[in-house]
Structure 1
Amino acid sequence: MTAPLSPSCEACTSPARSSGTRAASTPPKAHPKAIGESSPWGTGPFELVEGTSLLDKRSPEVVLEPNEEYWDSARTPTVRVVFDNVIPKAAAVKDVGSADGEIDIVTELTPAEAAQVEDSDAASVVASDSKTVLLGVFNQTSGDSKWNDIRLRKAVNYAVDRQGVIDDAMMGYGNLMPATILEGHFGYNDSLEPYAHDPEQAGQLAKDADKTVTIVTDEAHEGVADAVAADLSDAGFDASVKVGEPTGKWDIWLVEHFDWSPEFPAAVVHREYFGDTGGYLKSPGDKRLQGLIDQAMRTVDKDEQEEITMAIEKHIYDHADALLLFAPQKLYAVRDGVDFTPYKSTVLELAETKMDE
């Protein structure tokens, strides 16, 4: 028997709460009820019955109910979902692990929060091998940037023990990959291997370079940045970490992104990090790489598009266009009795979610 489920902005509660950031919209009825300033409609599995969730405006709660007119009857939801956008994340993590709590799902756990959930008696951690990517963007905004030297870019790639960073800073919640695409996914280039951990090679490549390195990142990735800085220091660099935005003097910006597309990393990941219009681009750009990205986005044939995507991966790898790290797993706290399956796109889909009473 199923019971209502409700999610919160980063947590879910019962009668039904889960942490989520996206809600499916559904077809309008003859006289749709106004929700906020507009009446959303669509063909999704849920119907928005209460609240507003926009980029610049979110109500305290957003309530979704099954769309009885959904076209795929085999996938029609059986739960009611309530996103709680008010409860603090720390309180949600504590609640989901409590036997008398109301939270059912909490999203976007850190490894430390995952450990807290695993120690509880009422919830467990669901780890998803999502299409995420964590890279170190080099500061090449000036024409005389030391990072314009491919030898230095390769040096820091050889200096980092990626598996060690995953094991220590991520508590094992991550997967190695050679560039930006995980094995088994569209565009993965099986001719590449992740950069080996070779401090001696790193030292040789950087022997004549300025070895001062300031890593900037957000609080969520501070532990990873500390581990990377320690590896760089072991290889002869003078490395430090700063939490904040990539402003002022900095060298490497650790930033995570995800591929929400079914099979189009060129448009979603490659463009964002390396394309002329990318939000994470901190260099004048690479004409050859931009040409490949443009070619992929113009190509209709799927096989040809995958070949181009593999060529993009090889270019990024060969030129060490970023500090190539790993794919962090997405972590969810799920209350016992809740059947939840995460999507590799990291988009929170709850149509298949069920809850035992």
Structure 2
Amino acid sequence: MLTEGVSLIDSRSDRVVMEPNPTYWNPARRPTVRIVYDNVIGKDAGIASVASGDGRVDVVFDLTPAEAKAFPQSDKGRIQTKKAKTILTGVFNENKPGSVWRDPAVRRALNLAIDRQFVLDQGAYGYGTVIPAFIQPGRFGADPGMSPLPHDPEAARAHLEKAGLGGREIVIVSSPAWKEVVEAIGQCLSTIGLSARFVSDRGDLPEDFDIKLEWYFDWTPQYPVACMHREFFGRDATLRQGPEDPEFDALYEKLLHAPEAQTEAVVREVERYIQDRSKALFLYAPFTLFAVSERVAFTPYDTCMSELAETRIKG
């Protein structure tokens, strides 16, 4: 798999070294630098190396928002961002006995309680984009006429009290990397008389948890169906959190058989249905974050891969 842009010349337990492939088919994208993946230097040490400019590390991938915020002021390195093809969303636990989250009105009420820009700013230090449903603005299938659900705490309070949820504690499971996001959600809930309790998904999950924060890939046109949507709601989905939804399944079948020219319009139908039914706790699309040395020109790819083929040494 290394014959496209680079050739593997050395593989050891501590590092992988790659040289430019002079026979790569696209001269405009032919790599020009030697790349060393160091498997010994820790992430913290790598970030410190970029900031100090000591020459040991030039690019560190996949920083957390907290790591990016803590990056020191430096003329030797910087934080570089990329709008990744991912979303951060809350999956309602509709499967637990007596789940209140099977009611679309209750799911919508909790969405109305959340100030998404506040959650993004406080929980992720602004590294992301608030989105209306599962597809990021500008991506294939995103509906430019859709807006994020509004922040309406008074309407949220009224609906939740009507459903008998006033004063309830909401148990939210997430990776420790998103603990600050859960805390920001908790601040929003506190304004309507609810509270949030963070539970790390590294431990045993309580059976009565309410929401699990998940990071998923959004729609990608390389696939003939809306894989993100099917992952949540389809009959054969392993991550399914709720009962079967015949209306959604009908939309999915429509998408499967739509002519290519109509595919995007059907995807937008799916997005609108998901928002109308508040199928998830919609949050935001995180950025992919990198610590990058000022001595290199780094081009992050629009994928989940750690490609370095277009990185150049400055000067």
TM-score, normalised to structure 2, is: 0.90
Q: CA deviation at 1:139?
A: 0.5
Q: Whole-Å Cα distance in 2 between the matches of residues 51 and 272 of structure 1?
A: 37
Match in the other structure for 2:56: 102
Match in the other structure for 2:39: 85
Alpha carbons 2:141, 2:264 under 8 Å: kept: yes
* Pair 1:49 & 2:3 matched: no
Q: CA deviation at 1:290?
A: 3.1
Q: Aligned in 2, Cα 1:231/1:75: closer, same or farther, shift over 3 Å?
A: same
Q: Aligned in 2, Cα 1:318/1:259: closer, same or farther, shift over 3 Å?
A: closer
Q: Whole-Å Cα distance in 1 between the matches of residues 110 and 279 of structure 2?
A: 11
Q: CA deviation at 1:143?
A: 5.4
Alpha carbons 1:258, 1:346 under 8 Å: kept: no
* Pair 1:253 & 2:212 matched: yes
Match in the other structure for 1:25: 2
What is the one-letter code of the residue matched to 1:325? Answer: L
- If asked which structure has higher relative contact order (CA below 8 Å, sep 6+), I would say 2
* Pair 1:218 & 2:166 matched: no
Q: Whole-Å Cα distance in 2 between the matches of residues 305 and 352 of structure 1?
A: 33
Match in the other structure for 1:209: 164
Q: Whole-Å Cα distance in 2 between the matches of residues 316 and 225 of structure 1?
A: 22
Alpha carbons 1:216, 1:244 under 8 Å: kept: yes
- The structure 1 residue matched to 2:122, chosen from 159, 168, 175, is 168
Q: Aligned in 2, Cα 1:356/1:159: closer, same or farther, shift over 3 Å?
A: same
What is the one-letter code of the residue matched to 1:50? Answer: D
Q: CA deviation at 1:270?
A: 1.8
Match in the other structure for 1:120: 74
Q: Aligned in 2, Cα 1:274/1:85: closer, same or farther, shift over 3 Å?
A: farther
Q: CA deviation at 1:280?
A: 3.3
Partner SS for 1:334: strand
What is the one-letter code of the residue matched to 1:335? Answer: S
Q: Whole-Å Cα distance in 2 between the matches of residues 260 and 117 of structure 1?
A: 32
Partner SS for 1:206: helix
Q: Whole-Å Cα distance in 2 between the matches of residues 155 and 205 of structure 1?
A: 6
Q: Whole-Å Cα distance in 1 between the matches of residues 49 and 313 of structure 2?
A: 17
Q: Whole-Å Cα distance in 1 between the matches of residues 86 and 279 of structure 2?
A: 18
Q: CA deviation at 1:141?
A: 1.5
Q: CA deviation at 1:329?
A: 1.0
- The structure 2 residue matched to 1:296, chosen from 237, 255, 260, is 255
308-317 or 82-91: which moved more? 82-91
**Structure 1 residues 222-237: aligned runs within 5 Å:** 222-237=179-194
Tell me the C-alpha RMSD between the 2 structures. 2.2
* Pair 1:184 & 2:138 matched: yes
Q: CA deviation at 1:274?
A: 2.9
Q: Whole-Å Cα distance in 1 between the matches of residues 123 and 230 of structure 2?
A: 28
Aligned length: 310
* Pair 1:348 & 2:306 matched: yes
* Pair 1:142 & 2:100 matched: no
Q: Aligned in 2, Cα 1:188/1:66: closer, same or farther, shift over 3 Å?
A: same
**What residue ranges of structure 1 are gaps of 5+ in the alignment?**
1-23, 27-43, 53-58
Q: Aligned in 2, Cα 1:265/1:163: closer, same or farther, shift over 3 Å?
A: farther
**What residue ranges of structure 2 are gaps of 5+ in the alignment?**
none
Q: CA deviation at 1:266?
A: 4.3
Q: Aligned in 2, Cα 1:268/1:107: closer, same or farther, shift over 3 Å?
A: farther
Q: Deviations over 1:243-271 (max 9, x none)?
A: 12544321000111224845549444222
TM-score, normalised to structure 1, is: 0.80
Q: Deviations over 1:127-156 (max 9, x none)?
A: 112222000000011353111011110011
Q: Aligned in 2, Cα 1:50/1:267: closer, same or farther, shift over 3 Å?
A: farther
Q: CA deviation at 1:99?
A: 2.2
Q: Aligned in 2, Cα 1:130/1:288: closer, same or farther, shift over 3 Å?
A: same
